[in-house]
């Protein structure tokens, strides 16, 4: 049985806990909508699957580009 990812391991992949929560929630919604699971098991809940994907490096976070002033 696979273990759930630890917070310490996940925060190495994502810069903050807040960003981790947002990223995991968005991916969990995609899984619920029918997206293929890239890590974990079909028996895991969508949030656990999304956290396993982040821990495995399948889902990556990139900072948004800053908008130019005056645009």
In the block, tokens 């990223």 appear at 23
Band the pLDDT of 70: cuts 50, 70, 90: low
Domain-located, residue 34 = yes
Domain-located, residue 47 = yes
Domain-located, residue 29 = yes
For 48, the domain range is 7-56
Q: pLDDT for 19-65, tens place per residue?
A: 999 999 999 999 999 999 998 888 999 999 999 999 999 988 887 78
Domain-located, residue 45 = yes
Instruction: Say how many Å lie between the first and final Cα of the chain, rounded.
Output: 52
The sign of the CA dihedral 36, 31, 51, 49 is negative
Q: For residue 39, what pLDDT is reported?
A: 87
Q: What is the domain count for the chain?
A: 1
CA distance linking residue 46 with residue 42, whole number of Å: 9
Domain-located, residue 51 = yes
Band the pLDDT of 4: cuts 50, 70, 90: confident
CA distance linking residue 8 with residue 35, whole number of Å: 27
């Amino acid at each position: 049985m696979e273990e759930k990812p630890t917070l310490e391991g996940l925060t190495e992949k994502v810069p903050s806990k807040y960003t981790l929560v947002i990223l995991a929630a968005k991916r969990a919604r995609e899984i619920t909508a029918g997206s293929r699971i890239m890590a974990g098991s079909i028996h895991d809940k969508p949030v656990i699957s999304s956290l396993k994907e982040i821990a495995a490096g399948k889902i990556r976070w990139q900072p948004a580009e800053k908008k130019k002033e005056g645009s």
